[in-house]
A and B are shown apart, each in its own frame.
Chain A
Amino acid sequence: MAKRTLALCRQAPYGSALAREGLEAVLAAAAMDRAPELLFLCDGIFQLLDNQEPGAIDQKSLRRNLQALPMFGVETIHVCERSLMERGVDTGQITIAGVDIQRVDDTGGFIAAFDTVLSF
C-alpha cells in the first residue's frame, strides 16, 4: 500500500518564506504524482483568505500556487477547525476554485493517521 503523506501549512502567507516554499514543495511533489494531503492550521489558515493584495508590500500572491492545486490533482484540502475559531475566520472567507475544503475537528488524530508528515 502506498504511504500516506501529509503536508502541514502552519505559517501566515507573507511573514516568512516558508508559506510560499511549502506550497512550492507540495506542487513539486504533486507534479511527480506524489501529492501529499494538505492540512492548514495555526496561522497557515490565513494563506487561504480571499481578497489578499500582497502587491502592496511587493510580494507575489500565494493565490496562484493555491489555485494550481486542482491542476495537480489536489482537489481536497483540510483545515483545522480550532485554528479557524481562534482566529475568527469562517469558511465563507476561504475558498479556492475547484478545491473542496474540509474542516478537521480532531487535528491530532487526523495527523496521526499519516505515515509521514512534512511540516511547513
Chain B
Amino acid sequence: MKFSLAVYSAPHSSQSAASALRFARALLEQGHQLYRVFFYCDGVHNGSGLAAPPQDEVDLVGEWQSLQREQQLDLVVCIAAAQRRGVLNEREAQRLEKPAANLAEGFELAGLGQLADALVNSDRLVTFGD
C-alpha cells in the first residue's frame, strides 16, 4: 500500500513527531511504500539542521536524514509554514534577507500543492500531531 504522512508537531516537543518516524520505518519494513512525508505547522522544525539534542536522546532530525538516504524518501517541508517559523534554505534566506539558512540536508521546501498531490497519489494519508 502507498502511504503519505503529514507531520504537524515539532521534534522533542511531543511524542507524535517521533511516532511519525517510527511509523515510517515500520511501514517500509513491512514492504509498503512511502510516497511522501509532508511537514506542516510546527512539524517544519523537523527540518531544522540546527537542532542539537543531548547525546543520550534520539536525534530525530538526524534519524529522518538517515532514513531519507537509505530509502530516497521525499521529505517536504511546507514553505509557508517554514517561513513563519524560521526554517529556511539558502535561497529563501537570501530572498528574505535573513542572516542564515538552516534547512537540513535531505529535506526540501515546497508548497502546499505537495500535500494535495500526496492525497491524490497515496492510498492512505496518516496525520501525526495536532
Contacts and interface: CB of A to CB of B under 8 A. Distances in A.
B41 A5 contact: no
A interface SS class: mixed
Q: How large is the interface on A (under 10, 10 to 19, 20 to 34, 35 or more residues)?
A: 10 to 19
Contacts of A29: 112-113, 115-116, 119
Nearest to A5: B119
Q: Which of B81, B116, B122, B127 has the most CB of A within 10 A?
A: B116
Interface in A3-20: 3, 5, 10-11, 17-18
Given A117-B125, A118-B127, A21 B41 contact: yes
B112 A25 contact: yes
B6 interface: yes
Interface residues of B, number: 20
Interface of A: 3, 5, 10-11, 17-18, 21, 24-25, 28-29, 32, 34, 36, 116-119
A98 B124 CA distance: 32
Given A18-B41, A18-B130, A117-B125, A24 B119 contact: no
A118 B120 contact: no
B80 interface: yes
In the A-B complex, list the 7 residue pairs whose CB atoms are closest, starting with the nearest: A28-B112, A29-B116, A119-B127, A34-B116, A116-B125, A25-B112, A116-B119
